[in-house]
Amino acid sequence: LMDDFTRAFGRSSSGRFYPALQEAIGVDSAFEGWGPRAEGAVYRVFVPLSAPAGHALHLELDTGATMPGRNVRVRVELECTCGREQLGNKSVLCFLHHSKEELSRKQEPSLLDTLCTGPYLDVEKTARWLHRWVRADWLLLPLSYHWHLMLMLCSRSCKMQLSKGQESLVVEVLFGVHKGDSDVFVGSQPTGVHLVPSTAGHETYAVAEANFCRHVARQAPQESWHCKCLRLLTCIATGTGFSTYALKTVVMHFLNTSPLSRWSRRDSLQRMVDILDYLRCSLHKKRLEHFVLGNQRLPGDIGLPPDLQRVEPPNLFQHLARDPDAHREATRDY
């Protein structure tokens, strides 16, 4: 579906200065193999954006934000393309060295004039642009002959429901900008924090975690039960104060520090006991370390910028250390 959308977008956006869409990356539970497979599954795909011709994207950290998940702004700057014109490429006039009058007559507006607020890429404007693009290009896709599309209102992503008879699925398209050549991105997904400026993205490690899950899938024996264990744990924890992400973090720590041969079906009950014991100890210490940030034991094929490798791993249970009532409630839930 996303490959078809990307090809259609490439055709319809020719000559316009919108971000280029890169190959989509499946993230979160449905693609990592432990999410629900029945109705209700949400397929989250992350689409990296790259700068259109004549533009450059630069990341600026919001120094007032705290980790994990730092707020980062994407500054859009115009680049000189006069060299291309001198080589005979007249398809893009230089935004810096042609008059505004000539540019307005001969060329589409720059990214700064369409999806930015000031010099920064606006997440909400970009999400609305993706909604409009999906609605406009849907009928060009082969799937449109068999599936019905309904777009769902969301300010920082493009969310759609596809249905065919009794079958339905939800796809949420998140977008963001690559941080160097690492598996870290500045993404658009909601943070749960209110009043986040529309020009602020959020440093996301979802792609790094999805790549770790794929790494484990390649290395683990075919009969490994690690995904089934995590799926069962998240079902058990429904209605408690333990987030799905906290349970996933515990399991990832175990997968990264124990032999994958120990996750067979016959060992699954013991692994469940081990996971719950790890959770109990973390609850007692009021500390659960972030899996990606500051983890010196990540597999070599998981790319992490040097500055994030050296940080002190953030504590996902920091709220329990600050709030005795929350800690007591979590203990009861456990």
CA–CA distance, 201 with 80 (Å, rounded to integer): 26
Same domain, 200 and 154: yes
- Count of structural domains within the chain: 2
Residue 328 belongs to domain with CATH number: 1.10.1410
> What is the pLDDT, as a whole number, of residue 256?
94
> What is the pLDDT, as a whole number, of residue 62?
72
Same domain, 144 and 293: no
Copy the structure tokens of residue 264: 């067979």
Same domain, 163 and 71: yes
In the predicted structure, residue 308 carries a pLDDT above the cut 80: yes
CA–CA distance, 184 with 295 (Å, rounded to integer): 14
pLDDT single digits (tens) 121-160: 999 999 999 999 999 999 989 889 999 999 998 889 999 9
pLDDT single digits (tens) 268-284: 999 999 999 999 999 99
pLDDT single digits (tens) 236-253: 998 998 999 999 999 999
Residue 50 CB contacts under 8 Å (≥ 6 apart), including other chains: 19, 20, 22, 57, 177, 178
For the CA atoms of 17, 18, 21, 26, what is the dihedral angle to 10 degrees?
170
Kindly state whether residue 279 falls inside one of the protein's structural domains: yes
Bridge-based pairing state of the strands 55-61 and 71-78: antiparallel
> What is the pLDDT, as a whole number, of residue 303?
87
Same domain, 165 and 18: yes
> What is the pLDDT, as a whole number, of residue 306?
85
Copy the structure tokens of residue 104: 């307005």
> Using an 8 Å Cβ cutoff, are 249 and 290 in contact?
yes
pLDDT band, residue 39 (cuts 50/70/90): low
Nearest to 164 by CA among 39, 64, 35: 39
In the predicted structure, residue 231 carries a pLDDT above the cut 60: yes
Average of per-residue pLDDT across 36-63: 86
Other residues' Cβ atoms within 10 Å of the Cβ of residue 248 = 20
CA–CA distance, 125 with 12 (Å, rounded to integer): 19
Same domain, 165 and 291: no
Same domain, 22 and 87: yes
In the predicted structure, residue 118 carries a pLDDT above the cut 90: yes
pTM to 2 decimal places: 0.89
Looking at every residue in the chain, the average pLDDT score rounds to 90
Range of the domain at 299: 220-333
